[in-house]
Amino acid sequence: MNIISTIYQFVLMLLVAPLAAGTVKFLKARFQGRKGASPLLPYYTILTLLKKELVISKSTSWVFRLAPFIVFGSILFLILVLPLVTVAGALGEYSNFIIVAGVLMLGAIFLVFGGLESASAFGGMGAAREMTLAALVEPTMILVFGALAISSGNSDISKMVLNINIGSQPFIILSLISLALLALTENARYPVDNPATHLELTMVHEAMILEYSGPLLALMEYASFLKLSLFSLLFVNVILPVGVLGATASVMDFVLAPVWLVLKIVIMMFLLAFLESSIVKMRFYRAHEFLTVAFFLALGGIVLTLVNTLI
């Protein structure tokens, strides 16, 4: 049953991830008074890119070609181990928060390598900015999941979602707010980055993939879709793990799992679209202030958790 749950989660995430990206774009357009493209557009985008010719600069090496596979593969690994649709996955033992943070960092490093390999000025700029953000994100992420680990009594994220009780431990809310800020940063969303920008000087993530095309660009785009869905579902499941498959899940639970999955995605994308339609992108040189707030929220969360444990 554990293997079946893992495969089921893997397939559902691959199918639903582009819908998340399409839904947030569609809702943002509606909030801004525009008709907007179909939420299914990312599916067509991926299929179109897979058919396109691959154009690679002569200045690049094998690292440029390898980077999209590492970025995409790192996200696939996280989809297999994290409690997104099921908490009874066969690979849940690999969801230790240290491993998860390391895999996220691995993907970020190879994304940076891809941006540097092109010898493009914008690629180098985006890579420098990405590493600046990563240096601020990773310590905060360790603090967030450290607090959740202490609160739940387990360092595996697949087991955290079952043992965290926000009602009896309200100070965990500080860590959850910090996690939300980190999710916006990791997914290149407002106010840190603008995923739809065409202005090179404001890019972070997009600047590093400017030189990619065809199937390699499809891998990068699909990885970003999966990452957005991953963080959205993880955030919801930590707060309220409703509809998540357990070890004793019935056939009906498996049937309803896609419904719960889509519902969670739509709710999170609605909130994200509303947020991005209500605020403006900050200057990059103020991003450290944004992440400093996240750091101190996470620090406060883990300190209060430790105090509560000692008492």
pLDDT tens digits along 246-268:
988 899 999 999 999 999 999 99
Spell out the domain ranges in the chain: 2-310
Sign of CA dihedral 209, 214, 219, 221: positive
The pLDDT, as a whole number, for residue 198 is 64
Please give the C-alpha separations between residue 248 and each of 1, 21, 94, 278, in angstroms, as whole numbers: 9, 32, 21, 42
Q: What is the per-residue pLDDT across 283-302, written as a single tens digit (0 to 9) for each?
A: 888 899 999 999 999 999 99
Residue 202 has pLDDT above 90, yes or no: no
Whether 199 has a pLDDT exceeding 70, the answer reads no
Neighbouring residues of 247: CB distance < 8 A, sequence distance ≥ 6: 1, 2, 87, 88
Averaged pLDDT of the chain: 92
Instruction: Return the pLDDT at 251.
Output: 92
Q: What is the pLDDT of residue 253?
A: 94
Query: Is the confidence at residue 311, as pLDDT, over 90?
Result: no
pLDDT exceeds cutoff 80 at 197: no
Higher pLDDT, 199 or 150: 150
Q: Is the pLDDT of residue 49 over 90?
A: yes
Closest C-alpha among 264, 93, 241, 247 to residue 162: 241
pLDDT more than 90, % of the chain: 76
